[in-house]
């Protein structure tokens, strides 16, 4: 009986302990969800720098997301431009298939050459289906081949709730994504300065061959009406409802907000704004580690230089809830000296980042220069110089 009683007590204590050991992320989300309600079926608010979720409602639920699918078309186009595979000046000979797309369009002519820039701008600003298909055919030969690439890239980005069937977001069986996956996609798009060149344009025009013009009006009204909003993608079909994934930046903090399945356009903009308001009012970013700042200098043995500068491989920005007294610290772990030769990017140690004494993350410490091994001739010159 004593053993049974003791075992029962231990079991109960363990259960209570495990029940109370709730991650701070889950606590923050629970508090946020209790503070206000989002009527749309699915929503997500994410801190861009840390990737932490600040609010969610069915954020991993697979749903049709309409034209938010085009964010993958945008991303792959930006990646190809960045890699040099294509350029903005490249000419796309449009097809009958691309020009026949329904829904949102810029009414491109078939068998006419348009620049990559014109087509990309048309997708980012006006959510043009015809321009999106024209880009897909140019990049991979056909929309079908491009869709395979879209799905491959989604897996690489960790978008576990996403499957693509076309590059436009027009209704298709088994095509779906989620609010959370949409924030992942937009966060990758936001890395490109070229995207911001077009995402903040309110009105523009596409000039066709022969002088005909199509007016481009940004479908994301928040870039005009919400302070700090500088990008995003709308979507709307009967099947998906009204959707929006948008980004806003104030001071050093950027947030990504996503609404899926709102009952109308006004609701998606209002609720996306409410999520932004909550995030900016209650959180801030604290840059703990900057990859551009020298962490320390390390003596080099048998090298052409005596000391090498060390840097963090990446930045670390801590998400801080206003009023939270949590303490963020870090420790630099490197040897007392290091031996040449060294190559640019070589890892020589690590940074242990801690919150309230508990390790949260490790970041590699690297050198940002080549350090050649000293030759006998160099050693002789050093000796002579020191005399």
Q: Could you say which of 40, 42, 59, 70 is catalytic?
A: 70
Which residue in this structure is represented by tokens 């936001």? Answer: 190
Instruction: Please give the Cα distance from 119 to 125 (Å, whole number).
Output: 10
Q: What is the pLDDT of residues 301-348, one digit of tens each?
A: 988 899 999 999 999 999 999 888 788 999 999 999 999 999 999 999
pLDDT score of 32: 56
Q: What is the pLDDT of residues 161-210, one digit of tens each?
A: 999 999 999 999 999 999 999 999 999 999 999 999 999 999 999 999 99
Residue pair 147/173 in contact by the 8 Å Cβ criterion = no
Rounded to two decimals, what is the model's pTM? 0.85
Residue pair 98/130 in contact by the 8 Å Cβ criterion = yes
**Residue 219 burial (CB < 10 Å; 0-12/13-18/19+)?**
buried
Q: Could you say which of 59, 67, 122, 177 is catalytic?
A: 67
pLDDT score of 84: 98
pLDDT score of 383: 56
Helix, coil or strand: residue 230: strand
CB burial string 270-279: b at 16+ within 10 A, e below? ebbbbbbebb
**Axis-axis angle for helices 179-189, 70-83 (nearest 10):** 30
Query: Which of 193, 255, 246, 208 is closest to 68 using CA atoms?
Result: 246
Name all domains of the chain by residue range, CATH numbers in brackets: 28-283 (3.40.710.10), 290-386 (2.60.410.10)
Does the annotation mark 67 as catalytic? yes
Give the residues of the chain that fall short of pLDDT 70. 1-35, 376-387
- Per the DSSP assignment, residues forming a β-bridge with 260 are 42
Helix, coil or strand: residue 273: helix
Does the annotation mark 70 as catalytic? yes
pLDDT score of 17: 35
Q: Could you say which of 59, 127, 182, 257 is catalytic?
A: 127
């Amino acid at each position: 009986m004593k053993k049974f009683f003791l075992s029962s007590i231990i079991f109960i204590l363990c259960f209570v302990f495990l029940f109370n050991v709730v991650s701070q992320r889950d606590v923050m989300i629970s508090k946020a969800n209790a503070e206000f309600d989002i009527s749309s079926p699915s929503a997500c608010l994410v801190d861009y720098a840390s990737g932490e979720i600040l609010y969610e409602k069915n954020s991993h639920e697979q749903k049709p997301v309409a034209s938010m699918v085009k964010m993958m078309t945008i991303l792959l186009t930006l990646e190809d431009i960045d890699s040099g595979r294509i350029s903005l000046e490249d000419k796309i000979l449009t097809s009958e298939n691309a020009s026949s797309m329904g829904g949102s369009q810029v009414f491109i002519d078939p068998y006419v050459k348009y620049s990559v820039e014109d087509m990309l701008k048309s997708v980012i600003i006006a959510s043009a289906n015809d321009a999106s298909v024209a880009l897909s055919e140019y990049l991979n030969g056909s929309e079908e081949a491009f869709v395979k690439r879209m799905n491959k890239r989604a897996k690489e980005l960790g978008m576990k709730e996403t499957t693509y069937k076309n590059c436009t977001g027009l209704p298709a069986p088994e095509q779906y994504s989620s609010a959370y996956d949409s924030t992942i996609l937009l966060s990758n798009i936001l890395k490109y300065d070229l995207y911001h060149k077009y995402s903040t344009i309110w009105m523009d025009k596409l000039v066709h061959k022969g002088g005909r013009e199509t007016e481009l009006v940004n479908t994301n009204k928040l870039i005009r009406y919400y302070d700090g909003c500088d990008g995003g993608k709308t979507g709307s079909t009967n099947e998906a409802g009204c959707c929006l994934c948008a980004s806003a930046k104030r001071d050093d903090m950027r947030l990504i907000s996503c609404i899926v399945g709102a009952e109308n356009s006004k609701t998606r903009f209002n609720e996306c704004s409410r999520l932004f308001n909550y995030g900016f009012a209650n959180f801030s970013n604290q840059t703990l580690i900057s990859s551009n700042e020298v962490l320390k200098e390390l003596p080099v043995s048998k090298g052409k230089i005596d000391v090498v500068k060390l840097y963090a491989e990446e930045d670390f920005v801590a998400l801080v809830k206003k009023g939270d007294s949590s303490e963020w610290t870090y420790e630099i772990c490197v040897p007392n000296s290091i031996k040449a030769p060294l190559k640019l990017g070589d890892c020589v140690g690590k940074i242990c980042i801690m919150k309230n004494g508990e390790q949260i993350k490790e970041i590699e410490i690297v050198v940002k220069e080549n350090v050649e091994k000293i030759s006998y001739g160099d050693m002789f010159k050093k000796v002579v110089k020191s005399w």
